[in-house]
Chains A and B, each alone.
Chain A
Amino acid sequence: MLTPLLVIPLLGAIAIAILKPQFSRFLGGAFSLASLVWSLYLFSQFDLSLGGLQFSEFHRWIDPVGLNYSLGVDGLSLPLLALNSLLTLIALYTNRSNLERTRLHDSLILLINAGIAGALMAQNLLLFIIFYELELIPFYLLISIWGGEKRGYAATKFLLYTAVSGLLVLAGFLGATFLSQSPSFEFSDLQVQNLDLIPQLILLTTLLIGFGIKIPLVPLHTWMPDTYVEASPATTVLLGGIFAKLGTYGLLRFGLQLFPTAWQTVAPGLAIIGTVSVIYGAVSAIAQRDIKRMVAYSSIGHMGYILVAAAAGTELSVLGAIAQMVAHGLILALLFFLVGIVEKTTGTRDLGVLNGLMNPVRGLPLTSSLLILAGMASAGIPGLVGFAAEFIVFQGSFATFPIPTLLCIISSGLTAVYFVILINRTCFGKLDNDRAYYTRIGFSQQWPALVLTAIILYFGVQPNALLHWIEPTTNSLVVELHQPAIAQIATTNP
């Protein structure tokens, strides 16, 4: 059931590579649509009464090493899989006038789709690492070939950081497997619970730093603004929308699920790091002059909420964390998509130069309206998916970490500050008569934004449509989280 999600994009990549360039976008669209449809089909077959893994596949691969081809999904990975396919489709249809070497570009995007899908489904630690590292290569190429002026610097920085992230995660996995003397790298075989707290803490810290680079958490974040700014809009949609989510996914899957006891020990620290990220991202974003950089910093802030919620570890907060992953993926993709249109049309991303794009005749009225909506969604205005997710995060985390939660609420006010700056400078104001001879943006270039907007609105009004897929899994995750603690108390207080 799950292999098609790997095979379809791979086949697509091959097909694009060998057929004529003028078909490449169509082929890419068709294959990513197919994988989207397949993931939606998985939703229809998904059993909501089960909290654990479903559609599992298992084939022995390299026995002596303990590497197996073992896949499975649950409520944590399934929404992200659908998001992955959707964003691939969106990325392919992101503004691409004058794009050269389209075949390479599009097949790389499909390879990324396969890599991320693999990482989300892998139930073998080594298999996860393989996919986790594999998608760095296409990303590196996308940034260094189609990036902006400083693409070489950005791509190298990206590669170094994320490769270190991969190494740390690998080190953590090797340590966990060897110390717990597991027979293989199968996720289900691992019994890290039986280790002492100290080795558990060391392993968890390694994983935290590894995944923290990917999320990214302050102060491991500096690869991210540079990369997001230099990468092409299509690449940024994928980077911000789904790539960074592998970090939080990894934290929940391999941090919270593998090390429940140690997790509770580090949780207060994590909440502080998350809160610092939230405030740091929001405050830095206010100071930015470049709209893409501003959105990039906003992303640091919003990923911080996920960490706070994951640290709080209540049923509600973990549910909120996963919902926020999806919500943020959708909103950030929309923001980057629209910023890409603005940049391509006006030729600048400078807040000091941009103005008056709401102008109905010579401006970009539809793009500006959607930009306002996306900004408001990101700032957490009710009726849009960002609010639903953030509210659940706040409500869920408040009982465990009241002060960090309140700080997060305050900083969601700061989010409003920079989005108002962005909207006021970009969309409002008087259109500059000398500059404003913009090419018209047709529907063919806008529909991905409309699709994303529709989804953001739908989940905002009907959050249950998103939440009920996730809930069974978070319930079982949190049960695991609290069981060992109770067991430990039982043993220490006989």
Chain B
Amino acid sequence: MNTFSQSIWLIPCYALIGAVLTIPWSPGLIRRTGPRPAGYINLLMTLAAFTHSLFALREVWSTPVQFSINWLHAANLDIAFDVLASATTVGALVVILGLNALTQIYAIAYLEMDWGWARFYALLALFEAGMTSLALTNSLFFSYVMLEILTLGTYLLIGFWFNQSLVVTGARDGFLTKRVGDLVLLMGVVALYPLAGTWNFDELTAWAHTNPLDPTAATLLGFALLIGPIGKCAQIPLQLWLDEAMEGPMPATVLRNAVVVSMGAWVLIKMQPILNLSPTVVTAEIFVGAFTAVTCAAIALAQVDIKRVFSYATSSYLGVVFVAVGTGQGDAALMLLFTYAIAMALILMSVGGIILNNISQDITQLGGLWSRRPISGICYVVGALSLVAVPPLGCFWGWLAIADGLSPLLLTIILLVNGLTACSLARVFGQLFTGSVTDWTRRSPEGLWALVLPMMILLGVALHLPQLLTALGLLPSWSAIASPTSLLLLTSTAVGAGVGLWLYGGERVAKPIRLPVPAVQDFFAYDLYTAQLYKVTVIAAVGLAAKVVDWCDRILVDGAVNLVGLVTLASGQGLKYNTTGQVQFYALSILLGTILFGAILAFPLIQALQ
């Protein structure tokens, strides 16, 4: 019986059907019910898809299912939607759909008063369809297509509250930055086909094993393929968009930070055999990952906006994933992505509720929330412990698996990232939950049930994750906790969290804390001045080119055309005054004409005489 896995292609369709069904609730059509039914329909569709994926997971656990749906046949090009339903991909579906369902419940409370339900849920459905298709497809072409659709979804979701100018610029930057990555990836996709003759990942892997390319081609191709995930996973230098994306509504942020950005890494893992063809590319991949991991962890420590702290934490974690993929630990990377998704979603949900009714998201303005919001507090703590290396919770196992296979230098970097992240999580905890109550936090009850319920469910999942992973046979023996690497990781967590708590827990140390060198602090607080860097480089270049070309177009190209017209008109205008009616003038012009004509005719004669 393979009913559920054979019909696995339905999973993206559930979301799309939900999105289409929201149309009647777009503004002005159905007024009597308000926009809410659109959300409920989508939630039901997501739950249906989630159930489907659970049943399918049972079926494909031991035997993967593969089939392909023909999409385009043209000349010598056949593009098929290759579906691979294996334990990994369907497992990814379960995570994606589960988080989607929880986020949609969360959004019921978060957007309680919003008028744009239909649009919001339709866009979430677009996200869901894009992610599930991306998880299912085994074709590089469709991976690109889905990444592009996620880019569009990001743009529209960030721009959800389009009235505010920061939102509009955030949406613009998100779209354009991701699109840069996508288009470079498209170049790679286009260039790869004539070389390999396929976009199927399995066939590509087999092709890559034959070592078919010369080093230059492999490097160029590898870089093209690498830049797509760099943009998608918000790695330096394309990291800024994720920070600006924080202007969007919180439920979308939860999804984006927990799973959407990870989809870039998912594609990267699948493309790794091709990237391996060029050592330069692999080095670059590890370097970008390591650099982003450390730098973004440091930037996160310097942010005052809660959401931005976690946007940089996201970039930093994906940097670690890049390092893992680059060093050939795809499975460890997947493990980290999985555990990270749950921890990050839990953290974001807990702080989201705080943002919702304390209005401010500036951590320096908040404080003393532990007694007022114990549920949020507990969720945050569990989320934070799951995110860094604390056994036996989630991410510890991912960290351990990655750290085991690294060189000492990279291991140091990983330990540093873990420590910095622990410190920044402790800092946020200290600022939000400890210390004295501020004006912003004086009245801060726990949110609506719809806000608390998904948080509690996720809390349960996070706490049971070790058991779940053991049951699935994904964990090494628990004695690994006592291994040297594990102890190093634990130490880094303890040091980081200890420093963070000591500095920010309670009011022991006066705030704001400034580093001795303000320039360094500002450097990280202003995201390495990336926005300014973009402004004086890419944006200035494009703007200048546009102005110059426009000027040429108006003055030179069109000017030449208008000049011809003007000369014609003016000469006509001027010559018309010759028609005076004076016979002598006509006689003179005839004479002059005859002389001129005669001279021209005689010119060769004269030359011949000489």
Contacts from A to B (Cβ < 8 Å): 157, 160, 218-219, 221-222, 280, 283-284, 286-288, 314-316, 319, 356, 358, 360-361, 365-366, 369, 372, 376, 381-383, 387-388, 391-392, 394-396, 398-399, 402, 405-406, 409-410, 412-414, 416-417, 420-421, 424, 427-431, 463-464, 467-468, 471, 474-475
Contacts and interface: CB of A to CB of B under 8 A. Distances in A.
A316 B76 contact: yes
Most buried by A among B26, B164, B193, B549: B549
A276 B116 CA distance: 42
A222 B558 contact: yes
A122 B75 CA distance: 27
Contacts of A395: 77, 190, 193
A391 B72 CA distance: 11
Interface string B314-336: 00000000000000000000000
Contacts of B193: 395
B194 interface: yes
A429 B374 CA distance: 38
B74 A319 contact: yes
A414 B541 CA distance: 12
A406 B221 CA distance: 12
B588 interface: no
A464 B167 CA distance: 38
B191 interface: yes
A416 B148 contact: no
Contacts of A427: 162
Given A360-B116, A395-B77, 16 more contacts: A222-B561, A280-B549, A280-B553, A382-B144, A383-B149, A392-B74, A392-B77, A398-B190, A409-B190, A417-B542, A424-B168, A424-B169, A428-B168, A463-B74, A464-B71, A471-B75
B115 interface: yes
A369 B122 CA distance: 13
B399 interface: no
A381 B152 contact: yes
B557 A219 contact: yes
A358 B149 contact: no
7 contacts: A315-B75, A316-B74, A316-B77, A395-B77, A396-B75, A463-B71, A464-B71
A410 B545 CA distance: 14
B191 A398 contact: yes
Interface stretch (B178-186, B379-387, B440-448, B598-606): B178-186
Contact of B191 (A218, A361, A402, A431): A402
A474 to B, nearest CB: 7
A399 B145 CA distance: 21
B190 A467 contact: no
Nearest to A416: B179
Interface of B is mostly: helix
Interface residues of B, number: 54
Contacts of B558: 222
Given A286-B542, A287-B550, A361 B148 contact: no
A417 B183 CA distance: 13
Contacts of A369: 26
Interface in B188-222: 190-191, 193-194
B372 interface: no
A424 B172 contact: yes
Given A360-B28, A398-B191, A405-B190, A283 B183 contact: no
Given A222-B557, A412-B183, A424 B74 contact: no
A313 to B, nearest CB: 12
A395 B192 CA distance: 10
Contacts of A429: 162-163, 165, 168
Interface string B124-161: 00000000000000000000111011011001100100
B285 to A, nearest CB: 22
A316 B392 CA distance: 55
B546 A286 contact: yes
Nearest to A431: B163
A384 to B, nearest CB: 10
A277 to B, nearest CB: 12
Contacts of A391: 190
Nearest to B547: A287
Most buried by A among B75, B149, B163: B75
A363 to B, nearest CB: 9
